[in-house]
Amino acid sequence: MIARPEPDQGLAKIHASVVFQFLQVVTRSKPGRYSPAPGAGAPKNGVFQQPANQRPPPRRKETGTPPKLVEANGGVAEPTVWIISTRPELVSAARTASAGVGARLTALGLPPDPFPTDGVAPPDLILLDATGGDAAVAFLSGVNRPGGAPVVPLLAITGDAWEERVLMFSHGAHECIVDPFHIEELTARIRGLLRLKALQKRVVARETELATANRELVRLATLKDDFIATLSHELRTPLTAICEFTSLMLDEVTGPVNDTQRECLEVAHANCQHLAMMIDDLLNLSRLASGEMRFNPVPTNLVALVNDARASLGPMAVRRQVRVTVRPSGGAVMAAVDRARMRQVIVNLLSNAIKFTAEGSDVEVVAEAVPERGIVRLEVVDQGPGLPPEQQRRVFERFFQGKPMHASKSGLGLGLNVCMEIVSQHGGRIGVESVVGKGCRFIIDLPVAAGDGAAPAGPQPAPDPAGRAPRRGKPAQGDSP
């Protein structure tokens, strides 16, 4: 057996000393971290100092400017930070970090109310010492209580236990930082939260400006609608009198007229009727926009309604030598509509078809039920110049006037928009199909009358050709099918 040499006692002491020093280095707080231990980074002259052997290596300085908060009057305010803590060393560290971002720090204890109520504005950031226990939790709950003080970014300073951080987050803290912490980390977190607050204030300022602009737009729109309604009413009264008197003169009620006088009176009477039609469009548009136009949908025979509209436009069709046919010529196709308003739509579409169809051509109106879809379809087909795709998308917009291929037609460009609004109020839809040079097909889908197939009378949602959701009540202005 080989004898083992006795260990050198001096060498063993050296090894023990090295191991002890190594353990001290390992268990020591990380270099540059805030630590409340005595003699290791105690505050000096009110400014937190780090031990020379624990200071971090130099880092690249940030080039960004300190956060600037926008005041209500558009100026720039100095950020304010509150620290809620009774520990002097923590207050000192927070003061150093706040000064690094150009913010003013105010130290407070843990009052029962989260904010002073003596006219003091809330801060831009709150640092909360979470070691306050129940008082810190009560403070958080008070800050975020409904109807309480405005919510501001809140940074909770917690210990190593993860339960503390979970508790702070669950009560409304925006961020947490573990004590002991690095001064530069605290500075960076304060800078980030203050930037968040600055962005929040900018968003609030923009929202306020936008709300003010929207209110002004609503006021101007209301003023415009009132002006159009008033002007239309004021024009309608004297224009009606002119139309009636010219009609009386044409009928020679006031005495005989010669051929030249009759020709002048007929031109005057036709222009009076044209102006009356445009004023009616303006009045209808105003009533639709204000919700004053009432609808009373009742089961109505669309075939009879179309024949009535065709009869009223008979002189116009004869004058332009346009043949108007209705299919079916008899029978009943029932729909739930307001008779007067739907007649107005049919007259508008039919008059447009006659006006834009070449002389000697045909206009066809088709009414048919589509039971599987629970609707009634009405089609007005002309043999006019047609509409290119870009005009088809805009033809139902207010004041839009397409460029016909064969002639220029006068008008305000409101008739089809009024038709769209009336059809939408019935829970239906209106659309157009067209090929340039081959005419247009205007299509109206309406709910069937109750007991006639599927849908009950009254406004019902209808599918939209563009895939949009069906609308109820007042339709959006200027929307295209």
Report yes or no: 414 and 401 within 8 Å, Cβ to Cβ: no
Pair type for strands 323-327 and 334-337: unpaired
> Among 3-17, 135-149, 211-225, which range has the highest average pLDDT?
211-225
Architecture of domain 295-447 in CATH? 2-Layer Sandwich (3.30)
pLDDT category of residue 293 using cuts at 50, 70 and 90: confident
Instruction: Give the mean pLDDT of the chain.
Output: 75
pLDDT greater than 80 at residue 49: no
User: How far is Cα 139 from Cα 395, in angstroms, rounded to an integer?
Assistant: 61
Backbone angles phi, psi at 363, to 5 degrees: -125, 135
pLDDT greater than 50 at residue 466: no
pLDDT greater than 90 at residue 231: no
User: How far is Cα 58 from Cα 272, in angstroms, rounded to an integer?
Assistant: 88
pLDDT greater than 90 at residue 381: yes
75-98: average pLDDT: 85
Respond yes or no on whether the N-terminal peptide bond of residue 328 is cis (omega within 30° of 0).
Answer: yes
Which 8-state DSSP code applies to residue 439?
-
Collapsing DSSP to helix, strand or coil, 422 comes out as helix
31-38: average pLDDT: 40
Beta bridge partners of 301: 334
Secondary structure (DSSP) of 187-253: HHHHHHHHHHHHHHHHHHHHHHHHHHHHHHHHHHHHHHHHHHHHHHHHHHHHHHHHHHHHHHHHTTS
pLDDT greater than 50 at residue 37: no
The domain made up of 69-213 has a fold known as: Rossmann fold (3.40.50)
Where are the domains positioned within the chain? Answer: 69-213, 221-287, 295-447
Name the more confident of 114 and 176. 176
Name the more confident of 250 and 9. 250
Give me 274's structure tokens. Answer: 């044209």
pLDDT greater than 90 at residue 350: yes
pLDDT greater than 60 at residue 77: yes
Exposure b/e, 379-397, CB count within 10 A at least 16 = b: bbbbbbbbbeeebbeebbb
Tell me which H or E stretch contains 257. none
pLDDT greater than 70 at residue 289: yes
User: How far is Cα 315 from Cα 311, in angstroms, rounded to an integer?
Assistant: 8
Q: What is the pLDDT of residue 431?
A: 93
Name the more confident of 79 and 291. 79
Q: Which residues contact 362 (CB under 8 A, 6 or more apart)?
A: 322, 323, 324, 325, 383
pLDDT > 90: percent of the chain: 22
Q: What is the pLDDT of residue 236?
A: 78
Q: What is the pLDDT of residue 403?
A: 60
Rounded to 5 degrees, what angle do the CA atoms 364, 443, 405 make?
Answer: 70
pLDDT > 70: percent of the chain: 70
Q: How far apart, in Å, do the first and last CA atoms of the chain sit?
A: 106
246-263: average pLDDT: 90
User: How far is Cα 104 from Cα 108, in angstroms, rounded to an integer?
Assistant: 13
